[in-house]
Amino acid sequence: MRYFLDTSALVKIYHREEGSDQVIEIYEREEVVISELSTVEFLSAVYRKFREGEISERALRAVCDKFDEDLQVRYTLFPFTSFVVEEARYLMRRYGGSRSLRTLDSLQLAFFLVYCDRSEDMFVCADRRLLDVARAEGVRVIDLTGDR
């Protein structure tokens, strides 16, 4: 079994917040996979935390350095392909109106659907809307929102 971390879950490894303990346990014990998209989305999230004063410049540098190191040795990285884009387009058509699916969320779920086995692998996320769509697609999820 593999654990696909969307960016909302990935950030929790490097910045302590609700759900961090659960995702850190997965990170330390399991096979973790992420999308190529997450490499950019992660940086956007931590730079936002810096701009908003949640982390210092020193902490920002440390987080970015550790993430870069983990990209080389810890994560399996799924690349963008035309299959991912087509799956995201399908998801957007199906859920864009009824469930307010957003662009980057459709891409994250598309990576999972293209590369993972929905009957075996787990989708780890802290975004209610995205979890709702993942469940509608029959994906096994780990909900880090605290709602469960």
pLDDT digits (tens, 9 = 90+) for 11-22: 999 999 999 999
pLDDT of residue 146: 78
Collapsing DSSP to helix, strand or coil, 122 comes out as: strand
Among 3.40.50.1010, 3.40.1160.10, 3.40.980.10, 3.40.50.2300, name the CATH number for the domain at 3-143: 3.40.50.1010
Judged against a pLDDT cut of 60, whether residue 114 lies above it is answered with yes
pLDDT digits (tens, 9 = 90+) for 57-109: 999 999 999 999 999 999 999 999 999 999 999 999 999 999 899 999 999 99
Q: What's the Cα-to-Cα distance from 39 to each of 7, 136, 140, 141, rounded to whole Å?
A: 8, 26, 23, 21
CA gap 47, 55 in Å, rounded: 9
pLDDT digits (tens, 9 = 90+) for 21-65: 999 999 999 999 999 999 999 999 999 999 999 999 999 999 999
The model carries a pTM of 0.94
By the 8 A CB rule, do 129 and 138 touch? no
pLDDT of residue 147: 66
